[in-house]
Amino acid sequence: MEAADYEVLSVREQLFHEKVRECIISTLLFATLYILCHIALTRFKKPAEFTTVDDEDATVNKIALELCTFTLAVALGAVLLLPFSIISNEVLLSLPRNYYIQWLNGSLIHGLWNLVFLFSNLSLIFLMPFAYFFTESEGFAGSRKGVLARVYETVVMLMFLTLLVLGMVWVASAIVDNSKASTESLYDFWEYYLPYLYSCISFLGVLLLLVCTPLGLARMFSVTGKLLVKPRLLEDLEEQLHCSAFEEAALTRRICSETQLFPVGMVSVAWAGPVQDLGTAPSSLPSDPTSCWLPLDMELLHRRVLALQTQRVLLEKRRKASAWQRNLGYPLAMLCLLVLTGLSVLIVAIHILELLIDEAAMPRGMQGASLGQVSFSKLGSFGAVVQVVLIFYLMVSSVVGFYSSPLFWGLRPRWHDTAMTQIIGNCVCLLVLSSALPVFSRTLGLTRLDLLGDFGRFNWLGNFYIVFLYNAAFAGLTTLCLVKTFTAAVRAELIRAFGLDRLPLPVSGFPRASRKTQHQ
C-alpha cells in the first residue's frame, strides 16, 4: 500500500474511533441519568400498584414505570443540555490543546443535541401515549386476557391517536401557511412532519414557561422561607413551645378519655352551651335532652394534634439553630433570590433593546457546533457561570410555579402515594417544560449560544413580533409578580415580627340601634 492509502486509512480509523468514543460517552451519560431518575420515581410510586395479587397489572405498571423513567431521563438531559454546552465551550477556550479533554468537542455536543431532540419526539409522541393506554387497557372483548392482549389494544389506540394528531397538524399547517410547498413538505414524515409537530409542542412549552416562570419566581421566596430558619426579632420561642406543648397534651388527654368513655369510634364531645335539639345525636352519647354536650369528629382532633406536633418540631428546629444560621443564612438566601430575579429581568430588558437595534439578537439555529472559538458571554468565564446559574434558577422556578398553579395542583406527586397515571402526567409535563428550556433561554437572551441541531428549525423563532412580545411579557409579568409578592411578604413578616398579628381587633363602636328600637 502507498503512503496515501495509509493516510486515508488512518483518517478513517480516527473517525471510527471518534464515533465509538462519542457513543460510549453518550451511553454513559444517559445511563447515569436513567439510574437517577429510576431512584427518584421509586420514591414516589405507589407500592400497592406493584405488589398486587394480579401479576398482569403489576407487570403492566412495571413496563409503564420504565417508560416513564426513560422520559424523565430525557427531560433531565434536556435541562442539562444548554449548561453543558456553555461550560464545554469555556473549558475548550481555557484548555485548547489539553490531551485529557480531547473527547470534548463540537461533534459530541452536536450529537447530544440531536439525541435529546430525537428522544423527546419519541417520548412525547409514542412512548408516553403508549404507557398511558397500556395502563388503562384491558384487552379487546372476547380476546384472551394477558399482557399481549393489552399490547394489541394499546397499539390500535396509538394508531388512531396518530391519525388524529396527523389530521390536526395538517389542518393547523393549512391554516397557518396554505402554500402547496408547505403542505407537500408534511409528506416527509421524519424530515418535516415530526419537527413541525415538535415545533408546535415546543411552542406550547415555551408559552407554559412564560406563565409558570414568573409565578415560580414569586413563589420561590415563600418556599425558601419554609425551608430555612427565620431570624428572631421580637418572638419568644420558649413561650410558643410551651403553649404548643400544653395544647398538644390537653388534646391528647381528651382523645384518650373520650376513647375510653365512647369506644364506638368517631365520637368525641365538646362543650357547646345549652342546646334545644339533640335528635341527631349518636346513641353512644348521654340521652338526656337537656345535656350540654355536642358530638365532634375524632378525626378532627387527631389532625389538630398532628398539626401541633409539626409546629412543635419546627419551633424546636428554630430554637436549636445557630445564630449564624438564623441571622445570616435566611437574609443571604433571600438576597440571592432577589439578585437572581432582578438580574434575569435586567438581562431580558437589555435583550429587548437589542432586538430593536440589532437583528443578530434574534434566536436562530446553527447546524455546525463551533465550540472553543469565542465565549458566549461578554464577561468571559464569569459571565458563562452566571448564565448557567440563571438557567438552572429559571428552570427550578418554572417547576415551582407549575406545581403552584391551581390548574396543575392536583398533579403534584406525593411521597410513596402517586398513581401510575399521575406519574405519566408528571413526566409528560416535565419533558414539555425541559425540552422548551433551550429555546426559552435563547429567546430571552440569557445566552448567546445559538440553538444546535433541529432545535433551531422551529418556524416561529424567526418572527420578530412573537419574540419581542414574548420578552416584553416575561419582563412585565415577572416584575409584577415580584413587586406584589415581595411587598406582601415584607408586610406580613413585619406584622408577625412585631406581634401585631396577635393583637385584638379594634372595636370601632357599638352598632346603632334600629329605628324601631329607638321609637320604642
Pairing of strands 365-366, 451-452: parallel
311 found inside a domain: no
Determine contact, residues 49/57, Cβ cutoff 8 Å: yes
Which grid cell is 174?
A: 393549512
72 found inside a domain: yes
101 found inside a domain: yes
Question: Containing domain of residue 345, as a range?
Answer: 3-173+185-213+335-496
355 found inside a domain: yes
0.85 surpassed by pTM: no
Determine contact, residues 77/30, Cβ cutoff 8 Å: yes
Which pLDDT belongs to residue 508?
42
248 found inside a domain: no
Distance CA 409, CA 400 (A): 11
Which grid cell is 245?
A: 406543648
Grid coordinates 419537527 are at which residue? 195
As for how many domains the chain has, the answer is 1
Which pLDDT belongs to residue 232?
57
pLDDT by residue for the chain (520 residues), tens only, comes to 455 555 666 777 778 878 888 889 989 999 999 999 999 988 888 877 667 656 777 888 888 899 999 999 999 999 998 899 888 888 888 887 777 787 888 788 888 888 888 898 888 888 888 888 888 887 777 777 777 888 888 888 888 888 887 777 777 666 766 665 555 555 565 666 666 777 777 788 888 888 888 888 888 887 877 777 666 554 556 666 667 777 767 777 777 776 655 554 444 444 434 433 433 444 444 444 444 444 455 667 677 777 777 767 766 666 666 666 666 777 888 888 888 888 988 999 988 888 888 777 777 656 555 676 777 777 888 888 999 999 999 999 999 888 888 888 878 888 888 888 889 989 999 999 998 888 888 888 888 877 777 776 666 677 788 888 988 999 888 888 777 776 766 666 666 666 665 555 454 444 444 444 444 4
| 3-state SS class at 424 | helix
Determine contact, residues 375/90, Cβ cutoff 8 Å: yes
| 3-state SS class at 520 | coil
Distance CA 366, CA 452 (A): 5
Which grid cell is 201?
A: 409542542
Cα distances (angstroms) measured from residue 133 to each of 101, 127, 157, 319, 421? 45, 10, 7, 51, 10
Distance CA 396, CA 415 (A): 19
Which grid cell is 397?
A: 422556578
In single-letter form, the type of residue at position 393 comes to Y
| 3-state SS class at 418 | strand
309 found inside a domain: no
* Residue in 241, 255, 244 with CA at minimum distance from that of residue 308: 244
Which pLDDT belongs to residue 34?
93
Grid coordinates 422520559 are at which residue? 71
Contacts (Cβ under 8 Å, ≥6 apart) of 16: none
Grid coordinates 396577635 are at which residue? 502
| Other CB atoms within 10 Å distance of the CB of residue 408 | 16
366 found inside a domain: yes
Determine contact, residues 130/67, Cβ cutoff 8 Å: yes
59 found inside a domain: yes
Contacts (Cβ under 8 Å, ≥6 apart) of 396: 216, 220
Contacts (Cβ under 8 Å, ≥6 apart) of 402: 208, 212, 216, 408, 429, 433
**The Cα angle at residue 96 between residues 91 and 100, in degrees rounded to 5:** 75
* Residue in 7, 120, 128, 16 with CA at minimum distance from that of residue 66: 128
In single-letter form, the type of residue at position 120 comes to S
| DSSP codes of every residue in 50-107 | TS-S-HHHHHHHHHHHHHHHHHHHHHHHHHHHHHHHHHHHHHHHH-TT-GGGTT-SHH
| 3-state SS class at 269 | strand
Q: Which helix (H) or strand (E) holds 365?
A: strand 365-366
